[in-house]
Structure 1
């Protein structure tokens, strides 16, 4: 490929993938023999999720006596593997040494089988690869008896991986980026922050939803074949394992290396006397006035603990009565997570701290400063002990749109309710006393399974503050996006020339390598200012706080243009921001609608209608990423600018469906969910099977964020069984099991993580020698294919088709550094057979962009 030469390589080490294999984890669980159960009397409820409630005082029932590990151990006991007395009695009756040896071998085989079963559950599958292969062979034999072709044989049970545990495997890949010794140290700190933030959201949404379904009796066995309780317990085990590993990477690796670069994250005790004195003054002036200690006694009920807040649990003693009392101090979220101290010991906000000549800066966790001034908060009391803790709550939003007279008001009400969702996780600092922990568990309604014991400091999402330091030598080399080919020659010309460039040919944008600001942002800005533009129609799913996209729409409306904005106010965790922008747009005269009832509008679409000499012409943008200038600098996405007549007609029809009561319609170059994305993709996969049988070129190449949908995966399995090569590049969740003989031996799966978040969705098919390529907003998940408005557009330009296919091929190449999904899980492959470093595809693309700029000068 042309952009593979003259690249700057980034070497990625194949670091250790944890503290042991899944099988070793299983063996460890087996050895515990149910010791983790907190109910030896067997009185605990059988519902680990408890009873769902909207109120903050929700009490979750105690943990079940039979944890996942205990269940396996109990089964072993029933088989005679752990009942010591019974075993001794049996052995007394055994006189034949051979029989004794045989039974011992049977015992070992049974233990090994139990360990393998446990390992499968922890990795998110219910059937081994060998079992799947046997099922395939049996199904094909049955089909042959009925004179059916092999491709009509029934597919095996257990052929899907669990989506929740696959997500944890994705977050492990993020953690491996933080462990990579060749990643710049401030970027490693950033990956630690991303891992922590990802895990927070996973518990707020996915784990909370699973617990709610269990509690309400709505949970069903997952497509993986695992029961909801198995999944919940496996999540708890893997998440705790990863969280502990995350903490070790910070304490044992990243923190010392930051210190070696003059960035010190210090405990209070490590500060000098003068530094402590300066922080005493800083505490009194800047921190103390905003603190609110809350006591717990008969007159003061246990306070509400907001989700993701950092808190101090404080035990104080009255010196007169000798009674001990519990209090909670919330660490103010509006203050910096880490307080910076300069070389003179003067405290600063992190963004303001001046480093000394050597770039040395020290930071102290805010909670440690507060903890060492508790006597000021509780004068006259003795501070017995204090511990940090953090709570994660169910923060998913549920709005019954059919019953909501006003969706905006209904969502605002639900956002208020979300603050009081039940607790789903409790993080506590190691060393917390049992009685304080018991009080927190009781008042918050959590059980042992939901408690994470971690070394301080908790909440490493705050490491983004450290990453933002002005130390360019400790970060990825700066990359400046370039103006896309096709737009570069009109970059400094009159604003209307962008329309001339689009009339010349379709323009394929690849962000962040191609600049968002000189393409999409400029397209909208020029449309807003151009008196020949009559109308602008735009979808908005997420955008930035100071969005130039929103400003352009407002400018257009104020200049008299017809402007329609489809604002998705249900975009998770951006709901409040989108409500704000919706109202701002409405006040400016923009027609704001919220899409179709029951569906999120996730499609990335813009339509500009312009009066030209030969009549009205429609200019369109269809993309894979949000209209968000900030994330466009860090997310890898594609977009297409075109004035193709068919695409203009397609977008007009689609916007009419979103804003009005347009009847169902057919599209020329679009596939639109929930009607036609799944069926359209499956039809094309089946076409590749036919092409392969008839001797024509056939292949499938996909690039997505996640692949979960069972119907699409089954179609890919059928293609593999028919001999069609299938390549999948997936960043996140993958429920497809690759490389299983008889089922998926022709499917290869890769994952790419790096400085940019791989966010594009590309779907390519061999099509008998005339490749067909689509890009768009849809991932292969139920929510995208069934509950969202998504749009894929077919690429028409042959050069762009060739580029996209070649890019997918390079992503899958053995010379490219990626993670490989094998039968036993994900493995990082960043070294060649001779130990050479493999190519980083993001570095290749940045080098290609730089060469393009250099060649144009």
Structure 2
């Protein structure tokens, strides 16, 4: 057993830590908030997104790590670090991110508020009239909702709600507390209800003033603590572990739903993994919170700016500022669905396949097809998988209407869709009451595939109308997520999808599919076979190449196959929005692999997999990323695009992604990212705008695609590159020794042990 320092171990590993890679992704989002080429309102939106992302990261990823630490279970990160050393690295990186986030808000965004028609002010910055309005808001709206909760030897420690703004108020005895020693300090908690707006809004001439709700409460705390001396009042916010694991069984029934609901309750009481607090907080308050929640300095984040930057979205929703961000063009018709044909989709789809590329194409054809099916007397049944739905979903409404009209409706609601569990249980119950056949999940697997089939009787024949894609049946997110989907009546797709529904709703195990690759059946192995075929072609001197676009690349088995393919000379290009655990451009390992990430106006959510096949390319699309969970713990489906015209469209999507020079970050061998800049003579190409102008005539011929998509550009060197996103293991860290000094003292002896290789 040989000991190595953590930084050396991270550098030597051929894999990159999933969690550290995610934090680098959030840095790319923060980089959008720093972009002076964007409007202030766009930058505020990205700043709010970084805050929302970080909340979920702590709830799930840091929460998952604590599931190992708290219960003494072993875990070795991809970086090679054990639980405690990895905790130290992860929290140190998170501290540096939060510091950069606060500095960006204070130094780059806040100074621009006034000239953009608004400001965020404290109570002491308000006029006398504005103070009266704020005090009136406190008296009439806030005060009745506040419940001070004292904590002492007579009162138990109150339940603190997850991600709620809370005041820890230290008072000195007096007044009614005659039985208490004079001068004794007591601690009381005041939670600010989450159903109140983040800011109180005022109008000052041509300005909108936003007053943080905590500042109004702070100024009025004496009204809650009469005849008591307030020693200190400090705002804080906690994040609890939200990663609960179900004990899976084969009985997916009412007991399973109860187990989900029980898990949701435990999420509300999960262990605290992060404490955000104002500077200079009371030592008494901090001592109590540290001891009560078993946390140390690593979990404590002192916030010098605004706690919970998600609240900035309220500014964007204000009537004065709607439309002040960048304007998204109206969706354009799909290339394969001419205008005027969507009124009777049944007739059109009988003879044509349609490829939809959201948000450039609206999800309207899919929703409209479902709504037409609900009313069409020839439709016999509808089968659908649902993972996440929009508020007031037209999809649910159409399924309810179909059931009311006597059609057979089968719906698989995935009640394990994280943070949408309650909504899906509620919507599923609504459909059940209407007479739909509802399944709430499949055994130990999470159903993540996006699939719909409409069965329609047409004369003596029954036609299956299939929709399958990478995105959710959610009208809201389809406007900001890039996704790819297929509408078809091709009998092979119909047969495969019918078999797939029999698998997930019944007890069927088909031998094989013709156009589908599914998980957990054999997706990993089929993809590995396709990679190995490229290797064989490269060794024979035939053209080869792989281009893949996805959200995350994490599965070690797949990564190892890509390393082997790179060594065999196969050029490989990845477009990975978020997590990437593969190291590109490492000598002797991955010289022929390039990784880029696109982060911009839209959230890149589509999955497309291109294999050159010696000039006869195969292209798959679907719901799965290259992750362990996708292959082993989820029900996923990739579909082969066989229509030549639609295949050309899909390849063009990859081509445009690789041409982008406005939203692209190139990954270095050390795991850092640099923002791609256009060459001197290279025209500006913004992928999030170009798809609105794409036509069949503007697409290059297939031969050009083959040459371009399979040409691996020289991987980005680790030196002599401009850096938009910090590149160190810990961004902006001062140079110290070879391991670099930690930003915070985690004060646990066990963490001083070196990691095991």
- Could you say which TM-score interval applies, normalised by the shorter chain? 0.7 to 0.9
Distance 2:602 2:660 in 1: 21
Tell me if the contact between 1:482 and 1:849 (Cα under 8 Å) persists in the aligned partners. no
2:433 counterpart of 1:587:
yes
1:283 aligns with 2:138: yes
Shift of 1:250: 0.9
Give the 3-state SS of the residue equivalent to 1:609 in structure 2.
strand
2:22 to 150, 162, 167: 167
Q: Note the C-alpha offset of 1:802.
A: 2.0
Structure 1 residues 731-759: Cα deviation after superposition (integer angstroms, max 9, x where no partner): 01000000011111100000001111000
RMSD: 2.0
SS at match of 2:411: strand
CA contact (8 A) 1:162 1:226 kept: no
Do the aligned partners of residues 313 and 847 (structure 1) sit closer, same or farther apart at CA in structure 2, a change above 3 Å counting? farther
Q: State the match for 1:661 in structure 2.
A: 507
Deviations 1:393-427 (A, max 9, x none): 11123221217662112111221122111111111
Task: Classify the secondary structure of the residue corresponding to 2:249.
Answer: helix
Match of 2:96 in 1: 241
Contact map agreement 2:147 2:190 (CA 8 A) in 1: yes
Q: Contact (CA 8 Å) 1:557, 1:563: kept in 2 or not?
A: yes
**Equivalent of 1:482 in 305, 311, 332:** 332
Distance 2:571 2:257 in 1: 47
- Normalised to the residue count of structure 1, the TM-score between the two structures is 0.78
5 Å-filtered alignment, 1:153-192, equals 158-192=13-47
Query: Secondary structure at 1:489's aligned position in 2?
Result: coil
CA distance in 1, matches of 2:586, 2:65: 29
**Match for residue 275 of structure 2?**
426
Q: Is there any run of 5+ residues in structure 2 with no aligned partner, and where?
A: 176-181, 699-757
Q: What's the counterpart of residue 145 of structure 1?
A: none
Q: For 2:346, which of 499, 502, 512 is the aligned residue?
A: 499
Match of 2:362 among 507, 515, 522: 515
* Equivalence for 2:379: 533
Asked whether 1:452 is paired with 2:301, we answer yes
Answer with 1 or 2: which has the greater Rg: 1
CA distance in 2, matches of 1:851, 1:417: 56
Helix, strand or coil for the counterpart of 1:401? coil
- Partner SS, residue 504 of structure 1: coil
- The residue correspondences of 1:147-296 to structure 2 (distance < 5 A) are 158-296=13-151
Q: Does 1:377 align with 2:224?
A: yes
Q: Does 1:341 align with 2:341?
A: no
Are positions 1:844 and 2:705 aligned together? no
Contact 1:171–1:198 (CA<8 Å) still a contact in 2?
yes
Among residues 564, 571, 576, which one is paired with 2:410 in the alignment? Answer: 564
Cα separation, 2, equivalents of 1:166 and 1:453: 23
Determine the structure 1 residue equivalent to 2:538: 692
The match for 1:799 is 645
Select 1:776's aligned residue among 608, 622, 629. Answer: 622
Equivalent pair of 1:430/1:456 in contact (CA under 8 Å): no
Cα distance in 2 for partners of 1:443, 1:210 equals 20
CA distance in 1: counterparts of 2:644 and 2:301, whole angstroms: 53
SS in 1 for 2:238: strand
Give the alignment's TM-score, normalised by structure 2: 0.88
Contact 2:335–2:695 (CA<8 Å) still a contact in 1?
no
2:467 aligns to what? 621
Aligned to 2:491: 645
Q: Secondary structure at the match of 1:556?
A: helix
Partner of 2:445: 599
Deviation sequence 1:679-730 (CA, Å, 0-9, x none): 1111001001111122222100000000000111111111110001000000
The farther-off stretch of 570-579 and 272-281 is: 272-281
Contact 1:698 1:766 in 2 (8 A): yes
Structure 1 residue 837, shift from structure 2 partner:
7.7
Can you list the C-alpha shifts for 1:406-464, whole angstroms capped at 9, x where unaligned? 21121112211221111111111112122221122112221121111111421111111
- Tell me which of 191, 197, 220 is aligned to 1:330: 191
Other-structure match for 1:467? 316
**Cα contact 1:625–1:638 (8 A) shared by 2:** yes
Please report how far the alpha carbon of residue 613 of structure 1 lies from its aligned counterpart in structure 2 after TM superposition: 2.5
Residue number in structure 2 paired with 1:714: 560
What secondary structure, in the 3-state scheme, does the structure 1 residue paired with 2:113 have?
helix
Q: 1:126 to 1:823 in 2, by over 3 A?
A: closer
Query: What's the offset of the Cα at 1:851?
Result: 12
1:323-382 per-position Cα deviation (integer Å, ceiling 9, x unaligned)? 322111001100001111112xxxxxxxxxxxx6x4x21101001100000011111112
Q: Distance in 1 between matches of 2:249 and 2:306?
A: 45
Is the Cα contact below 8 Å between 2:162 and 2:239 reproduced in 1? Answer: yes
Q: 204, 210, 218: which one pairs with 1:363?
A: 210
* Residues 850/201 of structure 1: CA separation in 2 closer, same or farther (3 Å cut): farther
- After superposition, the Cα gap between the structure-2 partners of 1:816 and 1:294, relative to the gap in structure 1 and judged at 3 Å, is closer
State the match for 2:746 in structure 1.
Answer: none
> Quick one: distance in 1 between partners of 2:551 and 2:8?
24
Give 1:443's aligned residue. 292
| Structure 2 Cα separation of the partners of residues 849 and 445 of structure 1 | 59
SS of corresponding position for 2:76: coil
What is the rounded CA distance, in whole Å, between the counterparts of 1:120 and 1:381 in structure 2?
55
Rounded to whole Å, the distance in 2 between the matches of 1:192 and 1:451 is 21
TM alignment of 1:824-843, pairs within 5 A = 824-834=670-680, 838-843=684-689
Asked whether the equivalents of residues 414 and 440 of structure 2 are also in contact (C-alpha less than 8 Å), the reply is yes
Q: 1:502 to 1:598 in 2, by over 3 A?
A: same
Instruction: Give secondary structure in 2 for the equivalent of 1:596.
Output: coil
- Is residue 2:666 matched to residue 1:820? yes
Structure 1 range deviating more: 745-754 or 207-216: 207-216
Tell me the CA shift for residue 491 of structure 1: 4.8
Q: Deviations over 1:612-645 (max 9, x none)?
A: 1350010100010100000001100000001110
Of the three residues 410, 414, 428, the one matched with 2:259 is: 410
Q: Distance in 2 between matches of 1:803 and 1:284?
A: 60
Contact 1:126/1:226 (8 A) holds in 2: no
Does the 8 A contact of 1:830 with 1:837 survive in 2? Answer: no
Between the aligned partners of 2:534 and 2:190, the Cα distance in structure 1 is 62
Aligned to 2:742: none
Report the equivalent of 1:855.
none
Report which stretch shifted further, 685-694 or 700-709.
685-694
1:238 partner SS: helix
Gaps of 5+ in 1: 1-74, 76-113, 128-157, 344-355, 853-857
Q: 1 or 2 for the larger relative contact order (CA 8 Å, sep ≥6)? A: 2
Question: Helix, strand or coil: the match of 1:639?
Answer: strand
Identify the range of structure 1 (256-265 vs 780-789) with the bigger mean alpha-carbon deviation. 256-265
| Alignment correspondent of 1:787 | 633
Following superposition, the deviation at residue 182 of structure 1 comes to 1.1
Distance change (3 Å), C-alpha of 1:411 and 1:817: closer
Return the match for 1:390 from 229, 237, 251: 237
> Secondary structure at 1:402's aligned position in 2?
coil
**8 Å Cα contact 1:537/1:563 also seen in 2:** yes
Note closer, same or farther for the CA distance 1:179–1:434 as it changes in structure 2 (3 Å cut): same
CA contact (8 A) 1:317 1:382 kept: yes
- For the Cα contact (< 8 Å) 1:210–1:219, is it kept in 2? no
SS in 1 for 2:688: helix
Distance in 2 separating the partners of 1:310 and 1:614: 64
2-structure distance, mates of 1:414, 1:675: 28
- Aligned 8 A contact 1:771 1:801 in 2: no
